[in-house]
């Protein structure tokens, strides 16, 4: 599973930084699912957004506890929820209401529960420069993950922060 591209549109950070690797994987036999970003469109991970109010109401004061740590933007934190709120207070947000896309979290969420995004099988395209070229006759198939269930993903995130379970780390 790869979070990258605005397929079938051009651009996206992960795609633009390693186009050769994308084409290599597209022409390999490894199972491959593209989790699309599609900036500011309702069909990509960009639509799985959280506002500062969402975090203040659902994660502040919650989550795993730790010894005090200094945050990226200053401040001292002893729980994941408070640190998350502080991070969001210091990033650029967009939209109305102002919010931030949770691209990586959406990708991980559908590993946890694949029904939280639609899966569409297509013939593997190829990237030519910055443009996708469809290859409908290509026998190699990949999966496009799109149309994410924002409510289910955020609900799971908030309930996990509320009722978390720490795992043992093998040494």
Read off the pLDDT of residues 14-36 as tens digits, 9 standing for 90 and up.
899 888 999 999 999 999 999 99
pLDDT in tens, 87-124: 999 999 999 899 999 999 999 999 999 999 999 999 99
The answer to whether the beta carbons of residues 7 and 35 sit under 8 Å apart is no
Maximum separation of any 2 CA atoms in the chain, in Å: 57
pTM: 0.91
Q: What is the DSSP letter of 72?
A: B
pLDDT band at 60 (very low <50, low <70, confident <90, very high): very high
Domain segments of the chain as ranges: 1-48+102-150, 49-100
- Residues near 45 by beta carbon (within 8 Å), at least 6 away in sequence: 3, 35, 36, 37, 38, 101, 102, 103, 106, 107, 148
């Amino acid at each position: 599973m790869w979070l990258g591209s605005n397929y079938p549109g051009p651009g996206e950070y992960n795609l633009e930084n390693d186009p050769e690797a994308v084409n290599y994987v597209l022409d390999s036999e490894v199972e491959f699912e593209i989790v699309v970003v599609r900036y500011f469109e309702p069909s990509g991970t960009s639509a799985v957004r959280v506002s500062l109010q969402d975090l203040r109401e659902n994660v502040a004061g919650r989550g795993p506890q730790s010894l005090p740590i200094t945050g990226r933007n200053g401040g001292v934190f002893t729980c994941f929820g408070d640190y998350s709120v502080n991070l969001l207070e210091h990033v650029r947000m967009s939209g109305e209401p102002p919010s931030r896309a949770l691209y990586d979290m959406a990708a991980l969420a559908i590993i946890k529960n694949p029904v939280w995004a639609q899966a569409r099988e297509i013939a593997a395209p190829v990237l030519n420069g910055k443009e996708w070229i469809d290859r409908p006759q290509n026998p190699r198939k990949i999966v496009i993950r799109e149309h994410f269930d924002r409510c289910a993903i955020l609900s799971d995130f908030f309930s996990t922060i509320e009722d978390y379970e720490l795992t043992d780390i093998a040494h």
